[in-house]
C-alpha cells in the first residue's frame, strides 16, 4: 500500500479509539500526522488514505462522535441515509470475487444477526444463543470476530434456525450482512451503528471478566450512544 492513494472501508469501532477530543492542541497534532503521512507516501514510505468509508449510520452516532473527536485521516465519508444493500450492489462484483461464499450467504434468508464474542467460552456462547432463540423467531446469522479462530461449527446443531457464517467470510465486515429488515441481538459493537434503534436489542453475557473488559474498552462507545440499552 506504500505510496498508494486508496480508499478504505472501515470495520470495527476499535480503530476510532485513535480519536482525540477536539482542542487546539489535538487539532494541530492531527494536522501534523496527516501532513507527515502525505509526505511519507510521496516517497513510498507510507500510505495516504484517500478516504475512510464508514457504513450507513442510521442513528447518526458517528456524526455525534465526529463533533467531539478528530481522527488522523484526510477524509471521512459517512454513508448517511443509505442502506447497506445499495453500497453492496455498487461493489458486489468485488465482494463476490473475494469469496465464492459471499453470494451464497448474502442470498440466505435470515431475520436476526448475532456476533460471537471473542472473550466468551463455547458454553457461554451456546447459552447466549439459546436465550436469543427462546425470545425470537426466524433464522439467526452468526458471525465470528475476524481474529477468533475457534471452531464454532457445533452451534448449528443447537437449532435449524442458526446459520454459521463461513470461516472465509468472517474476515468480511459484518455490516455487509445487515439488511434493511435485519434485527440485531447481542453485545455492543460497531455493527449497531448500521441498525435502526427499534431493531437493536442489547443482550449482555453473564460473564464478569467480559463485563470488566467491555466497561474499560467501550466507554467511548457507550458515551457516544448515550442510551440506556
Share of the chain above pLDDT 90, in %: 19
Number of domains in the chain: 2
Considering the domain architecture, whether residues 68 and 153 belong to the same structural domain is answered as: no
Comparing CA positions, the residue from 194, 193, 189 lying closest to residue 179 is 194
Instruction: State the average pLDDT over residues 52-79.
Output: 70
- The predicted-structure confidence for 91-113, as pLDDT tens digits, reads as follows 778 888 888 898 888 888 999 99
Least confident of 26-35, 96-105, 125-134, 165-174: 26-35
CA distance 110 to 23: 45
Residue with cell 513510498: 44
The answer to whether residue 2 is domain-embedded is no
Instruction: State the average pLDDT over residues 20-31.
Output: 79
- Residue 215 Rama label (left phi>0; alpha psi -120 to 50; beta): alpha
Considering the domain architecture, whether residues 126 and 219 belong to the same structural domain is answered as: yes
**Could you tell me whether strands 162-164 and 51-54 are parallel, antiparallel, or unpaired per DSSP bridges?**
unpaired
CATH number, residue 218: 3.40.50
Query: What is the residue-averaged pLDDT of the chain?
Result: 79
* End residue of a domain, out of 82, 108, 129: 82
Considering the domain architecture, whether residues 109 and 202 belong to the same structural domain is answered as: yes
- The predicted-structure confidence for 135-144, as pLDDT tens digits, reads as follows 999 999 999 9
Considering the domain architecture, whether residues 104 and 211 belong to the same structural domain is answered as: yes
CA distance 166 to 164: 6
Considering the domain architecture, whether residues 133 and 53 belong to the same structural domain is answered as: no
The answer to whether residue 109 is domain-embedded is yes
The answer to whether residue 89 is domain-embedded is no
- Secondary element (H or E) of residue 140: strand 140-143
Non-local (6+) Cβ contacts of 25 within 8 A are none
Does position 176 have pLDDT exceeding 50, yes or no? Answer: yes
The answer to whether residue 87 is domain-embedded is no
Write down the pLDDT at residue 131. Answer: 94
3-class secondary structure, 134: helix
Does position 82 have pLDDT exceeding 60, yes or no? Answer: no
The answer to whether residue 93 is domain-embedded is no
Considering the domain architecture, whether residues 75 and 169 belong to the same structural domain is answered as: no
Q: Which domain holds residue 191?
A: 99-225
The answer to whether residue 15 is domain-embedded is yes
Comparing CA positions, the residue from 192, 198, 197, 200 lying closest to residue 218 is 192
Comparing CA positions, the residue from 189, 49, 72 lying closest to residue 119 is 189
For residue 20 the three cell numbers come to 482525540
Write down the pLDDT at residue 16. Answer: 59
* End residue of a domain, out of 49, 82, 115: 82
- Place 227 in a pLDDT band, splitting at 50, 70 and 90: very low
Considering the domain architecture, whether residues 23 and 103 belong to the same structural domain is answered as: no
CA distance 193 to 27: 25
Considering the domain architecture, whether residues 218 and 138 belong to the same structural domain is answered as: yes
Of the CA atoms within 13 Å of residue 158, those in its CB half-sphere come to 24
Model-level pTM greater than 0.85? no
* End residue of a domain, out of 32, 51, 82: 82
H-assigned helices in the chain: 24-42, 61-68, 84-90, 92-98, 101-106, 122-135, 208-217, 219-225
The answer to whether residue 1 is domain-embedded is no
Task: For CA atoms 108, 114, 118, 121, give the dihedral sign.
Answer: negative
Considering the domain architecture, whether residues 104 and 75 belong to the same structural domain is answered as: no
Least confident of 15-19, 45-49, 154-158: 15-19
CA distance 14 to 145: 13
Considering the domain architecture, whether residues 198 and 152 belong to the same structural domain is answered as: yes
The answer to whether residue 156 is domain-embedded is yes
Considering the domain architecture, whether residues 106 and 217 belong to the same structural domain is answered as: yes
Amino acid at each position: 500500500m506504500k505510496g498508494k492513494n486508496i480508499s478504505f472501508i472501515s470495520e470495527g469501532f476499535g480503530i476510532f479509539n485513535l480519536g482525540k477530543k477536539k482542542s487546539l492542541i489535538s487539532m494541530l497534532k492531527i494536522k501534523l500526522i496527516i501532513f507527515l503521512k502525505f509526505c511519507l507516501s510521496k516517497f513510498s514510505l507510507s500510505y495516504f488514505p484517500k478516504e475512510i468509508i464508514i457504513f450507513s449510520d442510521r442513528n447518526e452516532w458517528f456524526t455525534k462522535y465526529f463533533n467531539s473527536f478528530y481522527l488522523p485521516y484526510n477524509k471521512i465519508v459517512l454513508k448517511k441515509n443509505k442502506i447497506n444493500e445499495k453500497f453492496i450492489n455498487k461493489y458486489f462484483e468485488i465482494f463476490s470475487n473475494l469469496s465464492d461464499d459471499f453470494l451464497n450467504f448474502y442470498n440466505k434468508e435470515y431475520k436476526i444477526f448475532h456476533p460471537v464474542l471473542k472473550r466468551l467460552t463455547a458454553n457461554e456462547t451456546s447459552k447466549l444463543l439459546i436465550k436469543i432463540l427462546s425470545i425470537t423467531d426466524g433464522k439467526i446469522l452468526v458471525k465470528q470476530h475476524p481474529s477468533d479462530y475457534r471452531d464454532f461449527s457445533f452451534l448449528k446443531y443447537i437449532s435449524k434456525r442458526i446459520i454459521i457464517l463461513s470461516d472465509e467470510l468472517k474476515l468480511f465486515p459484518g455490516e455487509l450482512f445487515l439488511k434493511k429488515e435485519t434485527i440485531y441481538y447481542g453485545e455492543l459493537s460497531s455493527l449497531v451503528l448500521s441498525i435502526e434503534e427499534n431493531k437493536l436489542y442489547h443482550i449482555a453475557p453473564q460473564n464478569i471478566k467480559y463485563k470488566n473488559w467491555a466497561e474499560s474498552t467501550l466507554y467511548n462507545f457507550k458515551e457516544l450512544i448515550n442510551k440506556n440499552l
